[in-house]
Each structure stands twice: as structure tokens, then as C-alpha cells.
Amino acid sequence: MVFGPLVDIALITAVLAVVSQLVQNKFMNKDEMKTRQEEMKEKQKRMKELMQKGDQKSKNELDALEKEMMESLQAMMSSSTKVMVASMVIFLPAFFVLGALFENAVIQLPIPLPWLKQGFDLFNAGTWGIEVYNETTWFGWYFVSYLVITMVINVGRNFFKKKGQKAIVNG
């Protein structure tokens, strides 16, 4: 530990969040993924129209659309699988190290946070509830830090992406 569990875990989380974003950018083009999803929605609409027709031409076009959809799904799943495998190679050892270094750490939260009630059991409604906690384990702090850092990264990326698009339009 360099600065204490709170700061150390937050810094490690920031590094992991940036690495995670880099892995996603390397193996998965989000703009291309959105375009494919839009195309698939259009194809699904067209497929519904063709299903209501009973002629052979419609059936042939439907088969061709199904084949195109399967190819698009396969490409999307391939990129998602690559991201998952690369992330596991990075995150599993990181979690092992974090767990080993901070297994007994009790982290005082900077602000009280609502969380599931102690002893929460999904199948027992009597245990459902929310409590406010002032401290957590290393994983709880990692989770909260990762959510916040990832949101900041995404907001920053979207801001600069929009700013870049405005510069292109105005440029």
C-alpha cells in the first residue's frame, strides 16, 4: 500500500478502467456496432413484411435476409468474445492481486452510500431492503470507483467526440 486502501484501489481501478476502454476500442468499433444494429432493425421490419406474403419470391428474399442477419450477428458476437477474453486476461489477475493485498482492509467511504441490506436474499422478501453504509470491503470500493471512473471516461470521450465533429463541420 502506498497511499492507503481508499486511494490505492481508486488508482488501480482508474488504470483498469482505461485499459478496459482501450481493449474495447481495439476489438470493438462501437459506431460500427450501432450501424449494424440499425441495419438489423430495418431487416427485421422487412422480414415481418415478407413473412405475411406467401409467394416464392418473398420466401427467397426472406432466406437471404436471414442469412445476412446471421452473418451480422456472428461478426458482432466475435468482437464481443474478443473483448471478453482480453478483459478476463487482464481483470482476473488484477482481482487476485487486489484481493490478496486488501483482503482485510475496511475502507471508510468518502460519502455514505446506499447498498443492499446486510443478509440480502433474493428468494426471501423479508431480507430485501436498502441500508446506508459508511464503510466497505475492497471489492465494494472497487465497484463504486469503477462505476464513477467509467462514467467520467465516457462523458469525456463523448464530449471530445462531439467537439471534434463540430470542428469538422465548422472547419
Is the separation of the CB atoms in 10 and 108 below 8 Å? no
Task: Look at the pTM and tell me if it is higher than 0.85.
Answer: no
- Mean per-residue pLDDT, 143-154: 95
The pLDDT value recorded for residue 86 is 93
pLDDT for the residue numbered 34: 86
Lowest mean pLDDT, pick from 92-96, 111-115, 118-122, 146-150: 118-122
**Percent of the chain scored above 90 by pLDDT?**
44
Give mean pLDDT, residues 51-66: 85
Indicate whether 126 pLDDT > 70.
Answer: yes
Q: Per-residue pLDDT for 45 more than 70?
A: yes
- pLDDT, residue 118, reads 76
Instruction: State yes or no: pLDDT of 114 exceeds 60.
Output: yes
Q: What is the pLDDT of residue 28?
A: 83
Average pLDDT of the residues in 41-55: 85
Condensed to tens digits (0 to 9), the pLDDT of residues 65-101 reads 899 889 888 888 888 899 999 999 999 999 999 999 9
Residue-wise pLDDT for 1-35, tens only, equals 789 999 999 999 999 999 999 998 888 887 888 88
Domains of the chain, residue spans: 5-104
pLDDT of residue 143: 95
